[in-house]
Amino acid sequence: MTSIAEISECLTGTLNSNSNVRMAAEIKLSQLSAIPETSLALSQLVVSQDGDMSLRQSATILLRKYVKERWSPYFQNFKGNAPSPEIKNQVRQAVFQGLSDPNRKIRSLCALVLTSIANCDWPDEYPDLLNNLISLISSGSPDAVHGAMQVFTEFIKADLTEDQILPVLRDLLPVLLSILGATEHQSPLTRSRTISVFRQCTISLYTVKEQHPVAVKEAIASVLPVWLEAFKVLLAIDPQTDVNGDNWDGLAIRIQIFKALETTHTSFPRALQPYMNDMLDLAVGHLDILYPMFDRYYLSSSDPIPSSSEDEPVHLSHLISAILDFISGMVRGGKAKSWFTAEHSAALISSVFKYAQMTDEDEETWANNANSFVAQEDDETQDYSVRVAGFDLLAALMDRNPAKITATFQSAIQQVIQTSEQARNSGNDNWWRPLEAALASIGSQAESIEDCLEDEEDSERPKPIDIESLLGGIIPTVLTLREHPFLQGRGFVFASQYAKLLPVQLAGQYIDAAVNVIESEEGSIPVKISAVRAVHNFCNGTDDAALTPFMARIARDMGPFIMQTSEDTLSLVLETLSVIVAVDKGTWMTSDLAHALVHAILDVWAKNNKDPILLSIFPDILESLCSASVEGIYEVVVKEALPSLCNSLSSAPLEESWTASSALELINALIRGEHAMGEGFFSVLAPHLFKCLAVVEDRDALQNGIVSLTLVVRKDCNQLVSWADESGRSGLDYVLTLVAKLLQGEDESAGLTIGDLIIHLLRRAGDAVLPVLPELLQAMVNRMTTAKTASFVQSLIIPFAFLITHQQDTVLSLLESTNVQGRSGLDILIHTWCENAETFQGFWASRISSMALSQLFMSERPSLQSLMVKGDIIVKPETRNVIMTRSRTKTTPTEFTSVSFPVKALKILVHDLQSGGESATFNAAGNAADLEEDDDDENWSDAEDGGAPKRDAELEFLSDLIGPKGLAFDNDDILDDTEDEDLKSDPISQMNMQEHLTWF
């Protein structure tokens, strides 16, 4: 049996400076971990008050590792030899005892161990845990409450089931409220955890309100007002009292309050409504009162930021972000719209401008990663910050009242310009920060502001903001301030964000200035990257007439730039290049420039072909180059790129399949270019392509290879049909082998593109496919018997549908003569088709399926007339109005009726016809029909005034998204980019399907 002394000796050895001693101790501990009694010895050492503190902490960490690896098969990393129930019980008792330990770190570590154990054991093997925890936090002991609260924070979030939530909350929330109010006995961080648990309880209540509407309504009516009153009292205390001491622990309470208010507003806005105005007043008051401290610690950097009394940091910036998030939610909710007067909105915008200033940490971070600086406004992957939260609040305000908020921007920016100039003249080194923040704030709303200006102009009302004066007066001055690179860079980005408002001549001047910065050897990195971002924005928002004179020069600069730029900024530079080469269809491109760009792109691709973000950009650049309207550019690009990519394709090791996959994506971009596929293109590609696809197992590589073949068939099928290798084996034979490989594989996702390839082969290759057609169809029917996913089933059925519309008797005869495990091929196809027809995706695929089914319905073939297929579900008395869980389905299997194929086909076609006209769900106008609500949810309705029209608009938009139900069957808008050009122009896509179905 493992003893405490033995464990202590090993743990002491792991702290020894001698590496040999440490290694021997670690090996011994690993061996002891396989002994169940080790967990008991560890837990006893953890709570041993006379033990060495470093050993006790190490024992707790090791015990948590033991739980993850040895406690139960529940854990993913379980290695076996779980302790007995008796040992587990003793360990749980010891760890629970550790929650009250006098040492804070021991309490926190025990809380982590107990949370891991609870995840596995509660409630079945540890039923008294919850009551024990509630008793512990009711004890009044600060140490015990601190330890228990750390368990509750995670426990409520992860472990309570729907049936357990309400009983637990009835016992727990009153105790938590008493701890929150115990200002003299409990620490601020412990009190803050009570609010965190309350917040999680609110989320839990929301999740069960449908199952227990009456109980939840009672709980909300009795619980929330008490807590909200407590929040109001706590927030009314001057926040300066929490930032004047040695630590900022008191801020943690305010942070959690504003997070809880946001959650309450999201979940139960009606309960919060009586408090909304007061809470908003308190929120704005906090922003005003705390700004001097924010300036002192984050902007002026005159003092170090105070640390927390525990390991978890508490920052003033966290509180400001929580306040801004809460206000944003209130704006979007609409229930406090009377509070958002012009005065309050102006105060909020002024606060955002102040808090959006670059902090010292921002300046240091963005100096090393300038892309983060210029990506703040539109990058969804950006790090969360006060600045981001402020921009989100501005966006919410703009959505509610764009004209008035835009006019407020005008007043605010003028005020900032004036005060910044005064600060500059007085020698303030930080004068530039407010101006940069104001420009960044207004720039973040550029799209909304431009839309607002357009609406006001159309209504013949005055412009609420004068962006032109900023672009013509303030920004040119800013661009000359080299000593303030972030402000200079912001000037470039701001100008490009409002590129649509620039006259052609002024736009040209800005572009020229940006290019000069990129070419300069003296410019700082933030300014250069800002100039690149500006070029990117100008290319997206300026007329080609202003851009074209500069494009060759900029593209020439970008080539070397992408080979030298750092990893952090490479994506921005590549994205910029991708929009540059698309300007004016590349009329400015030269052969030498195209050659240089392709060489640079392939060089950068070879070094970064594992980066998923960059890999999405390379194909766009090559496709644009291949689509250049200048004669000869396509040939230059293909000559430079294709041999190199083919070499990568055939030489990439199997374990580096991502190289082959990304090389195929680039090859596909060459084929997609808006030029005919050059003569001999496929003869260069084919040996490398088929060699790669014969051995590679990677799903993405296989899919991209199938796409390559499909594009070749669409662009110039004759090159595939006429190609053969040195032994005389044809390209079609290689294709058939590849299709067979994919059909035999278990990974259905790799074969999703097969259907498109086969369809285009049948449409383009004609008689050339006939020799291999029987074998191909046989393989597809065989795979139908095991296909599981709807999309893969569709890729197998649609080629048959196409063939039936062209060669019905031949295909049916072939299927009738095919035998698969005692069933005819026709039986397999029809059964699979009827079960999946209503799930088919894509405009052309749905139409070809309907067309083929209508032909089969009219066929008098005996094999079809006598075929029985699955009909409707049989609803039994014991399953009526019962949710069928997995266990219920096992005891009461779902059964279906059997109907003849013609009856089933008619039902499918009638359903298609209804979808094409007035369906049962949507009326002719595309609005929702008046359906009776069956969830009695009126008590939870929180729609704002005018909610019904908004709901109608949302449903109308939804009807457009889900297709035929909301649109006429033959609406051309359905033919979007999801269908390739070949299928859009196919007669099936052009015919009046509703008329055809009605006629037949």
3-class SS of residue 940: helix
Is the pLDDT score of 651 beyond 80?
yes
Residue whose token pair is 């990893």: 567
Which comes out higher in pLDDT, residue 156 or 175?
175
Instruction: Give 10-43 pLDDT, tens digit per residue.
Output: 999 998 889 999 999 999 999 998 999 999 999 9
Is the pLDDT score of 523 beyond 60?
yes
Distance CA 373, CA 415 (A): 24
Provide the token pair at 576.
Answer: 């910029």
3-class SS of residue 900: strand
What integer pLDDT is reported at residue 928 of this predicted model? 35
Is the pLDDT score of 655 beyond 60?
yes
Is the pLDDT score of 929 beyond 80?
no
**Angle of the 790-816 helix axis to the 843-858 helix axis, nearest 10:** 30
What integer pLDDT is reported at residue 956 of this predicted model? 46
Confidence of residue 821 (pLDDT cuts 50, 70, 90): confident
Which comes out higher in pLDDT, residue 564 or 963?
564
Confidence of residue 210 (pLDDT cuts 50, 70, 90): confident
Phi, psi values for residue 78, rounded to 5°: -60, 135
Smallest Cα–Cα separation from 715: which of 797, 603, 638, 773? 638
Which comes out higher in pLDDT, residue 656 or 829?
829
What is the torsion angle, in degrees rounded to the nearest 10, for the CA atoms of residue 139, residue 141, residue 143 and residue 148? 20
Is the pLDDT score of 884 beyond 60?
no
Q: Mean pLDDT over residues 782-789, rounded?
A: 88
| Spatial contact of 128 and 90, defined as CB atoms under 8 Å apart | no
Is the pLDDT score of 937 beyond 50?
no
DSSP state of 375: T
DSSP state of 572: H
Instruction: Give 805-815 pLDDT, tens digit per residue.
Output: 888 888 899 89
Is the pLDDT score of 157 beyond 70?
no
Is the pLDDT score of 568 beyond 80?
no
| Spatial contact of 46 and 63, defined as CB atoms under 8 Å apart | yes
What integer pLDDT is reported at residue 961 of this predicted model? 41
Smallest Cα–Cα separation from 209: which of 218, 197, 200? 218
Is the pLDDT score of 959 beyond 80?
no
Report the relative pairing of strands 896-900 and 868-873 from DSSP bridges: antiparallel
Distance CA 980, CA 844 (A): 10
Neighbouring residues of 881: CB distance < 8 A, sequence distance ≥ 6 = none
Distance CA 701, CA 713 (A): 18
Instruction: Give 433-473 pLDDT, tens digit per residue.
Output: 999 999 999 999 999 999 999 999 999 999 999 999 999 99
On average, the pLDDT of the chain sits at 85
Instruction: Name the least confident of 120-134, 373-387, 919-933.
Output: 919-933
Confidence of residue 974 (pLDDT cuts 50, 70, 90): very low
Q: Mean pLDDT over residues 683-705, rounded?
A: 92
Phi, psi values for residue 7, rounded to 5°: -65, -45
Q: Mean pLDDT over residues 231-242, rounded?
A: 95
Provide the token pair at 754.
Answer: 């097969």
Report which residue type is found at 841. Q
| Spatial contact of 377 and 442, defined as CB atoms under 8 Å apart | no
| Spatial contact of 666 and 645, defined as CB atoms under 8 Å apart | yes
Confidence of residue 785 (pLDDT cuts 50, 70, 90): confident
Which comes out higher in pLDDT, residue 906 or 253?
253
Report which residue type is found at 533. R
Q: Mean pLDDT over residues 563-587, rounded?
A: 87
Confidence of residue 548 (pLDDT cuts 50, 70, 90): very high
Report which residue type is found at 407. A
Instruction: Give 385-423 pLDDT, tens digit per residue.
Output: 899 999 999 999 999 999 999 999 999 999 999 999 999
| Spatial contact of 485 and 527, defined as CB atoms under 8 Å apart | yes
Neighbouring residues of 671: CB distance < 8 A, sequence distance ≥ 6 = 677, 681, 708, 711, 712, 715
159 to 112, 501, 594: CA distances (angstroms): 14, 55, 60
DSSP state of 944: -
Provide the token pair at 854.
Answer: 């209508």
What integer pLDDT is reported at residue 876 of this predicted model? 66
What integer pLDDT is reported at residue 978 of this predicted model? 45
Distance CA 319, CA 235 (A): 12
What integer pLDDT is reported at residue 943 of this predicted model? 38
699 to 684, 702, 747, 749, 750: CA distances (angstroms): 24, 5, 8, 7, 5
Instruction: Give 592-643 pLDDT, tens digit per residue.
Output: 999 999 999 999 999 988 888 888 999 999 999 999 999 999 999 999 999 9
Using a pLDDT cut of 70, give the percent of the chain over it: 86
Provide the token pair at 838.
Answer: 């209503």
Q: Mean pLDDT over residues 136-146, rounded?
A: 88
Distance CA 169, CA 646 (A): 64
Smallest Cα–Cα separation from 639: which of 653, 658, 622, 660? 622
What integer pLDDT is reported at residue 101 of this predicted model? 94
What integer pLDDT is reported at residue 213 of this predicted model? 87
Distance CA 150, CA 110 (A): 9
Distance CA 118, CA 130 (A): 10
What integer pLDDT is reported at residue 998 of this predicted model? 61
CA atoms within 13 A on the CB side of 538: 33
Q: Mean pLDDT over residues 845-870, rounded?
A: 87
